[in-house]
Structure 1
Amino acid sequence: MKFSHSIQFNAVPDWSSHYIAYSNLKKLIYSLEKQIHQKSGATTNDAESSPLLEVGSIDDPDKIFSSHLDHELEKICSFYRLKELEIYGEVDSLLQDEESYEEEQDDMESEDAEGLGSSRLLSKSNRARQQSMFKSFSGFGKVRRSSTWSQKSGRDDADDDDSDDDANEGTSLKKPKSRGTMDSMDDLRVSTGDMSSSRRRDSRIFDDYADQAMSALYDTGITLKKRTVSHYVNVCELRSFIQLNKTGFTKVLKKYDKILDRNLKRPYIQQNVDAAYPFQQSTMDRLGETLIKIEEAYARLVTQGDVEVAKRELRLHLREHVVWERNTVWREMIGIERKAQAANMGLRQTILGQDTDPSKARLQGDEAHLDMKEISTPVGRYTCPSWLLSSTFYTLVVIIAIFVVLLTIPIMEKPEQQNCLALVVFVSLLWATEAIPLFVTSLLVPFLAVVLQVVRSDEKPYKRLDAKPAASYVFAAMWTPVIMLLLGGFTIAAALSKFNIAKRMATFVLSKAGTRPRTVLLTSMFVAMFASMWISNVAAPVLCFSIIQPILRNLPSDSNMSRALLLGIALASNIGGMASPIASPQNLIALQNMSPPVGWGAWFFIALPVCITSILLIWVLLLLTFQPGRGTTIVPIRPMKDRFTGIQWFISITTLVTIALWCVSHQLEGVFGDMGVVAIIPIILFFGSGILTKEDFNNFLWTIIILAAGGLALGKAVNSSGLLHAIANAITDRTDGLGLYAVMLVFAALILVVATFISHTVAALIVLPLVAEVGANMDEPHPRLLVMASVLMCSAAMGLPTSGFPNMTAIMMEDPQTGQRYLQVKHFITRGVPSSLLTFAVVVSLGYGLMYAAGL
C-alpha cells in the first residue's frame, strides 16, 4: 500500500489535519522537478513563462523544500505539545481518582466490618481487596443478605453465572442490583455453611445503607474503568501519531532525494526531525512509562492485580476502538478506490468497444453487485438476475444451441469424432466471445471429453475409452512438463520483481540512454522487450511505465514523445512475448505441439533476430509518424543507488543457472529428462529458502495455468479422437501442390488475424494443434517450422487496444494532472496495424530463413 493511503487509513480521524501533508509534499517534489527541468532545457530566459515559487530560488531546491518541511514540522510539534499536555493531565487525574477510590473502598470495608463486629469477615474482605478492587462486592453481598434469603441452601445458580448485565462494559464484574437480584447473586458465592446466625440479625436499616453506598462505589469503579481504557487508547494514538509522522518525513525525503538527485534526507532528519520534541527518545520513553502506569492501574481495578492480563484486555479494547472509530473512514476510502476502479473499468470498456452489461461485471469483479430485474411472463412476474437478460446470456444460449446441433447432426464418420467436433466448436466459441471466463471454459474441456467419450486408446485397433480410463488420460494431459515450465517462469518472474532486480536492470540501462528523444525511445523499447522475456509481457509494460514516470511528468499530456514512449513500450512488450519460451503462455503451448520441442538455444537463435529487427522497424515507424524529437527535452532517468544485496545475488545466479540448464536441456536429457524438471530448481530454492512465500505462490496467474492446461487437454482429446487427423488431411488435400513457404504464409496470416481480435493464448490453443498436424502430413513434413512461425505471429498481433495485455495497459495510462489519456484507439490502429504487418514481413522472411537454418 502506498504511504499516502496508509497514513489516511491509520490516522486518527479527528487529528487528520495535523499529520504531515505527504501528498502535498509529493506534488511539490514533482513541481520542483518540472521547474528545474524546464529551466535546464530552456533556450530563452522568459521571465513571464518562469514558474513562481513561494520560497527561495529554483537554483536552491533544498531551501524551498526544507522550508515546507519546516512548516509541517512546526505544525506537528505544536499540535503534539497541546495534545500531550491535555492527555497527560487527564491521566494524572485518573491516577489520583483511582487512589481516592481505593481509599474509599478500604474505608467502606472497615465500616462494614466494625458495624457487623465480624473480624472473620473483615479478613476475608481484606484478602479479596488485595486481589481486585471489585472482589469485596461479594463480601458486602453476604452482609446484606436478609434472614429470609439466608435460609435458602443448596441452590444451584449456574444460570446466574451467565448473566451479562455488564457485557457492554467489557468486564466480568457484576453490577449490584435490587434486593432480590443481589441476594440471588450472593447465593452463587456462598454455600449453606457460610450462613451464620449473626447475618440473620442484621438490621434492614444497615442493609439499605450498605446497598446505597456500595452502588455508588460500584458506579465509580465502572467509570474509572472506562476512563482507564479511554486514556490508554489516547496514549497509544499519540504514540502512533509520532511514528506515522516520522515515517512520513523519512519517505518524503527519500523520494525527494531520488527524484531530484539530492542528499537532503540524512542531514534534515538528524538536524531537524530527530531534534524536534515529539521525535526525541525521551518523549517516546515518557509515553511508554505512562502506558505502564495505566496498565498497572487497570490491573488493580479489574484483573486482580495481574498486569499481563490487563495488557491483553487493554490491547483488545484498543483494537475494538480502532475497528469501531475508523471503520467509517476505511469504508469511505475503500469506497472511493472502488468507485475509481469501476470508473476506469467502465472507461476501458467504452474505449475498447466492449459490452458494459452487468454480466461482464459479474464475471470480472470479485465482489460485483448482482443486479436483479423483475420480468413479466404468461405465468406471472418473476425476479431474476439482470445478466440473464443481457447480450452475453443470449450469446451463451446461441453457443449452447450450436453445440447441441453439432452433437445431433452427423458430419463426421465416427461418433467420437462427431462429439469432438462439437466440443472443439463449443469451447472455441466460448473462448472467442468470453461469454464465461476463459479458465472456466478450460475446465469444461476434461468434463466434456470424458462425458462425450471422445478419447480413444493410443494403439490400434482404436477403441473408445470408458469414463474411468478416459478421465485418467485427460487429466494426465493437463499436467505436463509444459505446466511445470510455466510455474518455473512465474517463480523467476516473481523473484525478479519482488526484489527489484528487474527494475534495477531497467533503470540502469535507461540511465545510459541520455536525453535524446530517439535514443530514449529505442532504449525503452529494448528494455521492455528484454523484461518481457523473463517477467512476462503482462508485467513488463507495467514495470517500464513506472520507470518512465519522471519523463512523462515533465512532458505535456498531448506531447508526441509521451505517446511514442507508451506505444513503443506496449508494442515492444508484445514483440518480447516471442523472445523466450517462458515469455508468454502461447510459447509453451507451441512447445507442447512440437516433437521434439525446440531447445532454448534454437529458440533464441530464431526469435532474437526477429525481435530486434521488428523493434527497429517499429521504432522507425514511430519516429516518422510521431516525430517525438520536435521541441522535446527529456529528463534523464537515474539508476537505483541501493547496493546489490546477498539475496539479489542469490536470485540472479539461480536464474542464470536455470536459464543455462534450459538452453542445454537436450544435451542433459539423461540427467533431467525434460525442461519441466529443471523448472523445479528455482521453485525449490526460492520457496524453500523463504525468498518467496506462500502468498507469492497464491498470487501466481493460476487462471493462465488453468487455461493452458485446458488447452493441452483439448489438443490431446482432438488428437486421440482422430478429428485432428481428419481435418488436417482435408486441409492438406486442399493445399496440395503448395510448397512449405506458401503454407507458412497462409497459416501465419490466419493466426495474425485471429489473434488480433481474440487472446493470443486462445488463438494458439485453437490453431497450433491443427498447424502441427497439417505440417506432419505434408510431402516434406516441417511441423515444427509451421508451429514456430505461427506462434511468433501470435505475439505480433497488436493492431487493436484489445490485442494483448500490453496494449490494454498502455491505453489506460493517464496524465495524473489533467486526467486525460495519453493514447486513443486511433493511435493503435494507425501504428499498431502497420507494426503487425512489418513484424509479419520479418517473420516470413528473416524468421523463415533462420527456422530453416535451425533444422525445423
Structure 2
Amino acid sequence: MKFSHSIQFNAVPDWSSHYIAYSNLKKLIYTLEKQINRQPGEAQTQEDEENTALLGGSLDPDTIFKRMLDSELDKVCSFYRLKELEIFGELDHLLKDAENYKAETRDLDMDAVVETENRRKAQRSSSIFNVPFRRKRRTSTMSISFEEPEGFDSDSDAEDNAAMIKKKKPSTTGRPRSKSAWDGEASAHSAMADSRDDLRSLDSPTFLRRKPSLAMEMEASEPGQLSALYDSGINLKKRTISLYVSLCELKSFIQLNQTGFKKAAKKYDKVCNRDIRKDYMEKSVNPSYPFQEKTMVHLDENIAKIEKIYADVVTKGDQAMARRELRLHLREHVVWERNTVWREMIGIERKAQAANFGIRQTLLGGVQDPSKARLQGDREAIETKEFVTPVGRYRCPKWLFSGTFFALVGILAIFLALLYVPIMKKPEQQNCLAMLVFVSLLWATEVIPLFVTSLLIPFLVVVLRIMRSDDKPHQRLDSKAATKAVFAAMWTPVIMLLLGGFTIAAALSKYHIAKMMATFVLSKAGTKARNVLITNMFVGMFLSMWISNVAAPVLCFSIIQPMLRNLPSDSNMSKALILGIALASNIGGAASPIASPQNIIALQNMKPAPSWGVWFFIALPVCILSIVLIWLLLLVTFKPGKGTTIVPIRPMKDSLNGVQYFIIFVTLVTIVLWCTSHQLESVFGDMGVIAIIPLVLFFGTGILTKEDFNNFLWTIIILAAGGLSLGRAVSSSGLLHTIARSITEQVDNLSIYGVLVVFAALVLVVATFISHTVAALIILPLVQQVGQGMKEPHPNLLVMGAALMCSAAMGLPTSGFPNMTAIMMEVPETGVRYLRVKHFLTRGVPASIITFAIVITVGYGLMMAAGL
C-alpha cells in the first residue's frame, strides 16, 4: 500500500489535519523535478511559470523542499505538545482518583460488593415484566439498563462496558478466565433468566445463616455507599480505557509522522537525485521534541502506569491480563471509530482498480467491452428491463437484450445445426467439427470468458463421444475411457513448463531483480532520443522473455515514469517510447519458450519438441532484427529527437542480498537445464520435470508464498489446458487428419516455403483480430498436420513459423496485452491518453508486416539450418 493511503488508514480521524501532508509533499517533489531538469533557455509553460513563482523564483530546490518540510514539522510538533499536555493532565487526575479509590476500598472485598449490586440489579430487572409502564431511572452509561424498555439508546461503548459489570460464571470448559471483579460476559437475557434464582437464594435459610461480610455490614449501616463505590469503580475503569486509547494514539501519531518525514525525504532524494534525507533527519526531525527518544520513553512509562491502574482496579493486580484486556479495548475502539474512514478509502481503491477492469484481461486477447464487466462495487444489483406481454408485465436481466446475448444464441444455433447437418462421414468427426466451430466462435467473440470456453471442451468431448481408441482407431471410446483420456491431455509436461515460467517471473518481479537489471541498462542509454528509444525496446524484449509479455510492459512503463513526467504531454518522444515498448514486448513474446502461452502450445505440437538452444538460435535473430527495423520506423515517423530534453534514468542503488543471489542462481541453472534438455533426456525425461526445480526451491524456502501461487495467471493455464485437450480430441477423432489432407491437396503444388508464407499470413491476420493464444490454439494443430502430410514433411518448421507470427500480430490496440496496456497510458495531470488508435494503425500494421517479412526470410533460413 502506498504510504499516502497508509497514513489515512491509520490516522486518528479527529487529528487528520495535523499529520504530515505527504501527498502535497509528493506533488512538490515532482514540480521541483521538472524545475531541476529544465534546460537553460528552455521555454516554460504557463503552469511552470506559476509554479516557479509560488516556489520562490530561482531559489535552490533543496531550500524550497526543506522549507516545506520545516513547515510540516512545526505543525506536527505544535499539535503534539498541546495534545500531550492535555492527555498527561487527565492522567494526573486519574492517578489521584485511583489512589483515593484504593484507599476507600482497602479493607473491602469488591467481589462481595459486585455480587450485592448484581443481585439488586437482578431484582429490579425481574420486576420490569410485571410493571406495564415504568418511569426511567438513571443508570450508569457503562452498563446495559434493563429498567429502560422504552426510549433506550445505547452505543458500542455502553454495550462493551455492560460486560464489565456483570460477573462471569465459573467456566466449565477449562479455559482461563479473567480475575476481574468487574468483568462479566453474560448477556442481558441470561441475567434476567437467572434473576429469579438469585432472588430465591437471597431469601433462602442458607444465605441467612452466612456470616455477614464487611460489605453487607456497610450497606446495612450506610445505605447507598456500596452503590457509590460500585459506580466509582465503573467510572474509573471507563476513564482508564479512554486514556489508554489516547496514549496509544499519541504514540502512533509520533511513529506515523516520523515515517512520513523519512519517506518524503527519501522520495525527494530518489526523484531529484539529491542526498538530504540523512542530514535532515539527524539535524531537524530527530532533535524535535516528539521524535526524541526520551519522549517515547516517557510515553511508554505513562502507558505502563495506565496498565497498573487497570490491573489494580479491574484484574486484581494481574498486569498481563490487564494489558491483554486494554489492547482488546483499543482494537475495538479503532474498528468502531475508523470504520467509516477505512470504508471510504477501500472504496476509492476499488474504484481505481475497476477503472482498468475492462482492459485487465489475463489473456493476450482483445479489450473487454466495459458493458460486459459486472463491477460489484458500482452495481449492487443486476440491471433489469421490463417488457409487456399479453399475460402481464415481466422483468428480465438487461443482458438478455444485449448484442452479446444474441451473439451467444446465434453461436448455439450454429452448433446445433452442425451437429445434425451431415458434412463428415463419421459421427465422431461430425460432432468434433461442430465442437471445433462452436469453441472457436466463443473464443473469437468472447461472449463468455475465454477460460470458461476452455472448460467446456472436456465436457463436450465426453458427452459427444468424440475421442477414439488409440489401439483400435475406428472404435469410439465410451464416456469413462474418454474422461480419462481428455483430462490426461489437459495436464502435460507443457503445463508444468508454464508453471515453472510463472514461478521464475514471480521471483524476479517480487524481489526487484528484473527492475534492477532494467534500470541498470537504461541508465547507460544517455539522453539521446534514438539511443533511449532502442534501449527501452530491447529491455522490454528481454523482460518479456523471462517475466512474460504480460508483466514486462507494465514494469517498463513504471520505470520510464520519471522520463514521461519531464516531457511535454504532446511530445512525440512519449508516444514513440510507449509504442516502442509495447511493440518490442509483443516481439519479445516469441523470444523464449516461456515468454507467452502460444510458445507453450507450439512446443506441444512439435514432435520432437526443440530444445531451448534451438529455439534461441531461431527466435533471437528474428526478434532482434525486427526490433531494429521497427525502431527505424518509429524514428522516421515520430521524429522523437526534435526539441526533446530527456531526463536520464538512474539505476537502483540497492545492492543484491543473499536471497536475490539465490534466485538468480536457481534461475540460471534452470535455464541451462532447459537449454540442454535433449542431452539430459535420460535423466529428466522432459522440460516439464525440470520446471519443478524452481517451484520446489522458491516455494519450499519461503521466497514465494501461497499468495504468490494463487496470483499466477490461472486463466491462462486453464486456457492452455483446454487448448491441449481440444487438440487431442480433434486429432483422436480423425477430423484434423481429414481437414489437413484436404488442405494439403490444395497446396500440394507449393513448396514448403510457399506453405510457410500462406500460413504465416493467415496467422498474422487472425491473431491481429483475436487473442494470440486463441489463434495458436486453433491454427497450430492444423499447421502441424498439414506439414506432416506433405511430400517433404516439415511440421516443426511450419509450427515454429506460425508461432513466431502469433507474437508479430500487433496492428490494433487489442492485438496483445502490451498494446492494451500502452493505449491506456495517460498523462497524469490531464488524464489524456498518450496514444490513439491511429498510432497503432500507422505504426503497428507496418511493424507487423516488417516482422512477417523477417520470419519468412531470415526465420526460414534459420529454421532450415536448425533442421526443423
TM over 0.5: same fold? Answer: yes
Instruction: Give the percent of matched residue pairs that are identical in Structure 1 and Structure 2.
Output: 66
Instruction: Give the residue type in structure 1 aligned to 2:115.
Output: S
What does the per-residue CA deviation read over 1:762-802, in whole Å, with 9 as the maximum and x for residues that have no partner? 11111111111111001111111111111111101111111
- Distance in 2 (alpha carbons) for counterparts of 1:719 and 1:842: 31
Equivalent residue for 2:798, pick from 778, 786, 795: 786
2:737 to 721, 725, 729: 725
Check conservation: 1:591, 1:597, Cα contact below 8 A: yes
Alpha-carbon shift at residue 338 of structure 1 (Å): 3.0
Contact 1:563 1:823 in 2 (8 A): yes
CA 1:226–1:383 in 2, change beyond 3 Å: closer, same or farther? farther
Answer yes or no: is 1:646 the counterpart of 2:658: yes
Partner AA of 1:173 in structure 2:
I
**Residue 842 of structure 1 pairs with residue 854 of structure 2:** yes
CA positional deviation for 1:189: 9.2
Q: Which of 361, 368, 379 in structure 1 is aligned with 2:374?
A: 361
Query: d(CA) in 2 for partners of 1:257 and 1:321?
Result: 38
Moved more, 338-347 or 696-705: 338-347
* Pick aligned residue for 1:625 from 629, 637, 654: 637
Specify the alignment match of 1:85 in structure 2.
85
Structure-1 residue corresponding to 2:209: 196
| Counterpart residue number, 1:20 | 20
CA contact (8 A) 1:239 1:284 kept: yes
Is 1:173 the counterpart of 2:165? The answer is: yes
In the alignment, does 2:691 pair up with 1:699?
Answer: no
Quickly say closer, same or farther: Cα 1:317–1:135, change in 2 above 3 A: farther
Counterpart in 1 of 2:38? 38
Measured after TM superposition, the shift of residue 54 of structure 1 is: 4.9
Which SS does the other structure have where 1:323 is aligned? helix
Post-superposition shift, 1:597? 0.6
Is the CA contact 2:520–2:650 (under 8 Å) kept in the aligned structure 1? yes
Displacement of 1:830: 1.1
Three-state SS of the structure 2 residue aligned to 1:814 is coil
For 2:562, the equivalent position in structure 1 comes to 550
Alpha-carbon distance in structure 1 between the residues aligned to 2:294 and 2:624: 61
Secondary structure at 1:425 match in 2: helix
The question of whether the paired residues in 2 share the 8 Å contact of 1:143 and 1:199 is answered with no
Kindly report which structure 2 residues correspond to 1:389-400, keeping only aligned pairs within 5 A, or say none: 389-400=401-412
Query: Among residues 739, 761, 773, which one is paired with 1:761 in the alignment?
Result: 773
Question: Contact conserved, 2:52 with 2:58, CA < 8 A, in 1?
Answer: no
Label 1:440 to 1:426 Cα distance change in 2 as closer, same or farther (>3 A). same
**Is the Cα contact below 8 Å between 2:545 and 2:588 reproduced in 1?**
yes
Between 1:3-12 and 1:520-529, the stretch displaced more is 3-12
| Contact 2:119–2:198 (Cα < 8 Å) also in 1 | no
Q: 2:113 aligns with which of 120, 132, 136?
A: 136
Contact 2:358 2:368 in 1 (8 A): no
Contact 1:751 1:793 in 2 (8 A): yes
How many Å separate the matches in 2 of 1:626 and 1:545?
A: 19
Q: Where does 1:277-676 land on structure 2 (aligned, <5 Å)?
A: 277-345=289-357, 356=369, 358-361=371-374, 369-676=381-688
How far the C-alpha of 1:99 sits from its partner, in A, is 2.7
How far the C-alpha of 1:91 sits from its partner, in A, is 2.0
C-alpha distance 58-543 of structure 1, shift in aligned 2 (>3 A): farther
Alignment: residue pair count: 814
Aligned to 2:185: none
Q: Given residue 297 of structure 1, which amino acid in structure 2 is its aligned partner?
A: I
Unaligned regions of 5+ residues in structure 2, if any? 127-143, 147-157, 168-181, 183-187
Q: Distance in 2 between matches of 1:668 and 1:735?
A: 38
Q: Which digits, 9 at most, give the CA deviation of each residue in 1:406-446, with x for residues without a partner? A: 11222111111111111111111111111111111111111
| 1:230 aligned residue | 242
Is the alpha carbon distance of 1:190 and 1:731 closer, same or farther for their aligned partners in structure 2, counting shifts above 3 Å?
farther
AA paired with 1:4? S
Say which is worse superposed, 764-773 or 328-337, in terms of deviation.
328-337
What CA deviation, in whole Å up to 9, does each residue of 1:509-542 have, x standing for no partner? 0000000011000100000000000000011111
CA distance in 1, matches of 2:545, 2:263: 33
- Cα distance in structure 2, aligned partners of 1:92 and 1:538: 61
In structure 2, distance between residues paired with 1:44 and 1:73: 32
Give the aligned CA root-mean-square deviation in angstroms: 3.2
Distance in 2 (CA, whole Å) between partners of 1:741 and 1:757 is: 25
Q: Which residue of 2 aligns with 1:11?
A: 11
**1:105 Cα deviation after fit:** 4.0
Q: Which amino acid aligns with 1:169?
A: N
| Distance of 1:240 and 1:90 partners within structure 2 | 19
Q: How many angstroms does 1:43 deviate by?
A: 9.1
Q: Structure 1 residues 569 and 468, CA, compared in 2 at 3 Å: closer, same or farther?
A: same
Structure 2 CA distance, aligned partners of 1:273 and 1:186? 64
The TM-score with structure 1 as length reference comes to 0.89
**Would the alpha carbon gap of residues 168 and 374 (structure 1) be closer, same or farther in structure 2, given more than 3 Å must change?**
farther
Letter in 1 for 2:675: C
Shift of 1:472: 1.0
* SS of structure 1 residue aligned to 2:349: helix
* Secondary structure class of the residue paired with 1:39: coil
Q: Which residue of 2 aligns with 1:120?
A: none
Which residue identity does 1:3 align to in structure 2?
F
Report SS of the residue matched to 2:373: helix
Alignment partner of 1:820 is 2:797:
no
Write the deviation string for residues 331-361 of structure 1: whole angstroms up to 9, x where unpaired: 2122233334444557999xx9977565432
The 3 A distance-change label for structure 1 pair 290 and 683 is same
Deviation of 1:187 (Å): 5.5
Change (3 A) 1:742 1:278: same
Task: State the shift of 1:310 in Å.
Answer: 2.1
| CA displacement at 1:33 relative to structure 2 | 1.2
Q: Which amino acid aligns with 1:195?
A: L
Query: Residue in 1 aligned with 2:284?
Result: 272
Distance 1:538-1:187 versus aligned 2 partners, 3 A rule = farther
CA distance 1:53–1:145, shift in 2 (3 Å)? closer
Deviation at 1:377, TM superposition (A): 3.6
Partner of 1:671: helix, strand, or coil? helix
Cα distance, 1:290 vs structure 2: 1.6
| Contact 1:585 1:704 survives alignment (8 Å) | yes
Letter in 2 for 1:99: E
Counterpart in the other structure of 1:96: 96
* 1:171 partner amino acid: A
8 Å contact kept, 1:29–1:256: yes
Report the secondary structure of 1:431's partner residue: helix
Aligned to 2:699: 687
Would the aligned equivalents of 1:358 and 1:386 in 2 still touch at CA under 8 Å?
no
Partner SS state of residue 381, structure 1: strand
1:272 is displaced (CA, Å) by 1.3
SS at the partner of 1:171? helix
Q: Give the 3 Å change call, closer, same or farther, for CA 401–209 of structure 1 in structure 2.
A: farther
What TM-score do the two structures reach when normalised by structure 2?
0.88
Change (3 A) 1:453 1:20: same
Runs of 4+ in structure 1 off by over 4 angstroms are: 43-51, 53-59, 139-146, 163-167, 175-184, 186-192, 197-200, 202-209, 343-349, 352-358, 364-369
Aligned residues of 1:141 and 1:183 also touching (Cα < 8 A): no
8 Å contact kept, 1:141–1:182: no
Cα drift, residue 307 of structure 1: 2.0
Q: Describe the SS at the equivalent of 1:670.
A: helix
Secondary structure of 1:571's counterpart equals helix
Change (3 A) 1:530 1:48: closer
